[in-house]
Structure 1
Amino acid sequence: MDTRHRGITIRGNSAQIAFTYQGVRCRELIPIPPTKTAQKELALKLQSIKYEIKTGTFDYNRHFPYSKKAKEFLKKRPDRYTIKEALINWLRHNQANLQKSTLQDYNSAIYHHLIPIFGDLAIAELTASKVKEWLSELPCSNKRKGNILTPLRQTFEELYHDEIIDKNPLTRVKNLPNKAREPEPFTQEEITRILNELTGQAKNLIQFAFYSGLRTSELIALRWQDVDFDNNRVFVRQAYVRGQLKSTKTKSGKREVTLQPQAKEALFNQKTFTKQQNETVFHDPHTNQPWRNDQPIRKRIWIPALKQANIKYRNPYQTRHTFASTLLSRGEKPLWVAQQMGHKDWSMIIKVYGRWIPQSK
């Protein structure tokens, strides 16, 4: 086959064509039959490409839809680069730096919410008004809406910093205010009724929850090595989130909690079940294996106990509210309570539990 055409190199049953686009030397391999007719057609194709580049009408993706370089150039075309492609590329580049639970959240937001609504739009077509309209119809809490929006925000922030878009429409979309749930602590009489419906490991777990203030994710990650009976304290260092062991939610979350008498009693009772078996304190009584998430606790222990005790349902987090409100009601200092709860300062204590703080005379 004749190989004298400039920019064409024959390689067996394929040919490489070379051209310069946007200052970048590009080479693409094309399969062709070993005939003079095929070579002439290839020369015409290269001539057409060069003409389109010169006139500003060249579409790399149309000529070479499976080319990696085409995808790179497409990213620089906000009128052609889709939001679906941008989200997937952003996630792929950043997933190595994400916690597994965060990655699961982002995957859910991208594939179940963002791509079905915005995926087919070019990034240049997204407007603040489209996002706001979608948010207004999304049937979930404001906090959840903000979480779903996070991957889209970060994707467009990256596109803006990479100068692929001139302005970021997401800067005009503010997160909606979170409506904090009002604490509904249990009374001492309600606590007694709940615990009376429980036995063994289930009772020990819920009793410790009421009198330690730990989050459920922290409770199920507690190890015997974190328990210091001699000095009447436990150390909160880690948590199970969606089956994955990770450090506590915040730096202040890693803390030392003073054992209240009822919490200490629950731990002593629990020693019978797990002290000699495993370093994890609380186990699922059905399997005698460590818990990995809070859903089975809620379904198999918490909900049945409240029903049997004929007590209005509140979620298990209210055990934490009960702990804080009880300490404050008996006159403990808000700063100390904040430390027991794992808050960085006492502002949250004042804001959430202010009505349980006795007024000084």
Structure 2
Amino acid sequence: MGRERTAGSGLEAELAKHKGIEVHGGNIRVVFMWRRIRCRESLGLPVTKANIKHAALLRAAIIHEIKTGRFDYSRHFPDSKNATNYSNVKDERLTALMARYKPLKAVDITPMTEEKYGYALDICTELLGADRLAGILLPEDIQVLRTQLIATRAPSTANHYLATFAGFLAWCESNNYCRKGLSAACIRFAMIGREPDPLTKNEFKQLLSKGCLHAQDAAAITLAVYTGLRPGELCALAVEDIDLIAGQINITRAITADGTFKVPKTGKPRAVLLMPPAVEACKTLMDLVADHAPSEIEVYMNRHESRMESVTPLLSPTTQARKKVINLWFIPTSWNTKWAAIQKRSGIRPRRPYQTRHTYACWCLTARGNLAFIAKQLGHKDFTMLVEVYAKWMDDESPKELEQIWKNISQL
């Protein structure tokens, strides 16, 4: 390795003039950095002044091609094993790849989701360096990105950015723009402080008796707690979704922060069976909007397909509003504001509106409900998430569960 002794001081002097030219095994080889890897390639040429100069010119051409993003390893060294290992990755800058990726991703998401994704992708690209070549990125660079994201952001926000950027990196990997394993390096942060924080029965009673000033608010919170609907699904409910005879609500849409209607998170409708308090809440809400006329809305299935519906909002700001001009539908952000005010009046510890969904899940689990049934009610594909998110509530019941199992076995 390195510079071997060459015959004659003239050759040694010639070698000394040129950086990155070595003698190895009696032949000349060139040394250069490419994609943060030190590459050494023998030219199979004997050590002569002419060959040393030739090697220097070749190396200069290679360095220029690397800097301009046009270097093709296999063209210069077709017989090298490195040609196979390195040349399958194309030299493209992050900013150019991002410009191609965004329109391809946008085909499958709504305009609002596209905006959120675009912001996350731009932040990650800026932190990594927009002009950097994707092919030279290492897992270490993604680890540094993680530390930069979490330094000034909440874990939930950082995780959203990492998940979005991981999708971009997976696309780069599949198209040979970067080395494998980068998307896997986008490891999410543990959400220790965001575990379910369900309402107690006493807190729920306080919300209704002290926090709610209107029958609509009490009925809406009751419905949320006893169905586990997501806030966007709750706000998008229509009178036409309620089937009191069957005792169920048909969840076919959700509403976003900008007032756009879309299909539920899983992309599929579901029927949520109603407990008696939820049935009464539905009756109250339906009575409050009995004189309201249906409105035409557009529900997006994806970016390019939508359906028109004529429906009556079940939970509408117009029911309580004093203003003449007001939105017909609550959106998640306006419901957040109302929820915060109700909590403050009730005197309970503040929580996010999403905790009503957690309350439903935890109450059902502590009542030893069937996992598959609860998961279906919540709109999960299976009960894997229940086990992961709500294990604490299941573990608390394990002694009673064992007693129940033994009782049933003994009766067989």
2:185 paired with 1:173: yes
2:100 paired with 1:83: no
2:291 paired with 1:250: no
Question: What do the CA deviations read for 1:268-324 (whole angstroms, capped 9, x no partner)?
Answer: 11123323323221112336633352111111x211111111111111111112222
Aligned equivalent of 1:222: 237
Q: Aligned partners of 2:273, 2:351: CA distance in 1, in Å?
A: 25
Q: Is the 8 A contact 1:156 1:168 kept in 2?
A: no
Shift of residue 171 of structure 1?
A: 4.4
Pick from 276, 288, 291: which aligns with 2:329?
Answer: 291
Shift of residue 142 of structure 1?
A: 4.5
2:197 paired with 1:184: yes
Shift of residue 85 of structure 1?
A: 2.0
3-state SS of 1:114 partner: helix
3-state SS of 1:97 partner: coil
Aligned equivalent of 2:276: 261
Aligned equivalent of 1:195: 208
> 1:350 and 1:215, CA in 2 relative to 1: closer, same or farther beyond 3 A?
same
Q: Aligned partners of 2:135, 2:330: CA distance in 1, in Å?
A: 43
Aligned equivalent of 1:281: 314
Unpaired segments ≥5 residues, structure 2: 1-60, 70-87, 295-311, 404-412
> 1:346 and 1:77, CA in 2 relative to 1: closer, same or farther beyond 3 A?
closer
Q: Is the 8 A contact 2:89 2:176 kept in 1?
A: no
Question: What do the CA deviations read for 1:174-209 (whole angstroms, capped 9, x no partner)?
Answer: 423542632221122211111122113222222211
Shift of residue 346 of structure 1?
A: 2.9
In the alignment, residue 179 of structure 1 is paired with which amino acid?
M
3-state SS of 2:401 partner: coil
Aligned equivalent of 2:41: none
3-state SS of 2:271 partner: strand
> 1:288 and 1:266, CA in 2 relative to 1: closer, same or farther beyond 3 A?
farther
Pick from 397, 401, 404: which aligns with 1:359?
Answer: 401
Q: Superposition pairs for residues 105-184 of structure 1, below 5 Å?
A: 105-139=116-150, 140-165=153-178, 167-168=179-180, 170-171=182-183, 173-179=185-191, 181-184=194-197
Shift of residue 146 of structure 1?
A: 3.9
2:252 paired with 1:237: yes
3-state SS of 2:381 partner: coil
Q: How many pairs align?
A: 289
Q: Aligned partners of 1:125, 1:98: CA distance in 2, in Å?
A: 30
Q: Aligned partners of 1:151, 1:306: CA distance in 2, in Å?
A: 33
Q: Is the 8 A contact 1:193 1:309 kept in 2?
A: yes
RMSD: 3.0
Pick from 108, 121, 131: which aligns with 1:97?
Answer: 108
In the alignment, residue 298 of structure 1 is paired with which amino acid?
N
Q: Aligned partners of 2:96, 2:330: CA distance in 1, in Å?
A: 34
Q: Aligned partners of 1:350, 1:151: CA distance in 2, in Å?
A: 25
Q: Is the 8 A contact 2:250 2:270 kept in 1?
A: yes
Is the deviation greater in 315-324 or in 96-105? 96-105
3-state SS of 2:197 partner: coil
Q: Aligned partners of 1:346, 1:169: CA distance in 2, in Å?
A: 29
Q: Aligned partners of 1:93, 1:157: CA distance in 2, in Å?
A: 13
Q: Is the 8 A contact 1:86 1:155 kept in 2?
A: no
Q: Superposition pairs for residues 312-327 of structure 1, below 5 Å?
A: 312-327=349-364
Q: Aligned partners of 2:275, 2:315: CA distance in 1, in Å?
A: 18
Aligned equivalent of 2:222: 207
Q: Aligned partners of 1:346, 1:161: CA distance in 2, in Å?
A: 31
Q: Aligned partners of 1:319, 1:172: CA distance in 2, in Å?
A: 33
Shift of residue 218 of structure 1?
A: 0.8
Aligned equivalent of 1:8: none
Q: Aligned partners of 2:167, 2:386: CA distance in 1, in Å?
A: 32
2:379 paired with 1:338: no
> 1:116 and 1:347, CA in 2 relative to 1: closer, same or farther beyond 3 A?
closer
Q: Is the 8 A contact 1:275 1:281 kept in 2?
A: no
Q: Is the 8 A contact 1:156 1:170 kept in 2?
A: yes
Shift of residue 231 of structure 1?
A: 1.7
Q: Is the 8 A contact 1:213 1:324 kept in 2?
A: yes
3-state SS of 1:344 partner: coil
3-state SS of 1:132 partner: helix
Q: Aligned partners of 2:378, 2:89: CA distance in 1, in Å?
A: 50
Q: Aligned partners of 1:176, 1:188: CA distance in 2, in Å?
A: 34
> 1:158 and 1:275, CA in 2 relative to 1: closer, same or farther beyond 3 A?
same
